[in-house]
Amino acid sequence: SQTIHQWPATLVQPVGSPLSLECTVEGTSNPNLYWYRQAAGRGLQLLFYSVGIGQISSEVPQNLSASRPQDRQFILSSKKLLLSDSGFYLCAYSGTGNTGELFFGEGSRLTVL
Amino acid sequence: GEDVEQSLFLSVREGDSSVINCTYTDSSSTYLYWYKQEPGAGLQLLTYIFSNMDMKQDQRLTVLLNKKDKHLSLRIADTQTGDSAIYFCAETEDYGQNFVFGPGTRLSVLP
């Protein structure tokens, strides 16, 4: 069966520190992978998506970057965090069934102080 | 660009029906989804509907699609306290790509 995991679940970081959030998918090959951010009381903002290894598309200019070093691994990074980077980050992949829906990880809550 | 709108809050009494509404702008939407997010968790797919359907029923859930008005609704019958969550409407034109999410409707179920 297909599963998706992301970690860490909770992170508190000072302004200016680096960030690395990791997401892995199991049970599927060559998935489309996504990073979303959900700010408090707001909807989902698509940050990055990837259709293959090394292929990253960015939806909005920002302080973050993404990488896909392996087929089923998607990493969200920052060299220097800003206060505005605080939020709930969700990794997702699109399924291969006939409904095309997204499957989401458990989420990573980042607080920048 | 494409846009999906939802009201942000809805309160209902336990046992009543809940109706969550969504409007979208992309006339090429092919797949439309309802996701549920419980506190501190990721999103889980509740149900979906293809654009060539008008209605879909799945136990307590009924989805209605009005393509002419670009309006999607989710009805939850006999709403329970466990239904309290944020409900997201989402659409995509391309299978498995370019999802557009609404801001989410926070459903509160009162005893």
Q: Which residue has the higher pLDDT, A96 or B20?
A: B20
Q: Considering CB atoms only, which of A34, A90, A100 is closest to B31? A: A100
For residue range A46-86, list pLDDT tens digits in order: 899 999 999 999 887 678 999 999 999 999 999 999 999 99
Average pLDDT over chain A, rounded to an integer: 91
Instruction: Give every residue of chain B whose pLDDT is below 50, as ranges.
Output: none
pLDDT value for A29: 87
Cα nearest neighbour of B5 on chain A: A43
Q: Is the pLDDT of residue A40 over 70?
A: no
CB pairs under 8 A between A and B: 51
Phi-psi region of A59 (alpha: psi -120 to 50; beta: other; left: phi over 0): alpha
Q: Which residue out of A44, A55, A89, A96 would a mutagenesis test of the B interface target, given it has the greatest number of B Cβ atoms within 10 Å?
A: A44
Q: Is the pLDDT of residue A97 over 70?
A: no
pLDDT value for B96: 60
Cβ distance of A105 and B42 shorter than 8 Å: yes
- Tokens representing residue A12 in the block: 């508190």
Contacts of B92 (CB under 8 A, 6+ apart): A100, B29, B30, B31, B98, B99, B100
* Phi, psi torsion values for A85, nearest 5 degrees: -80, -10
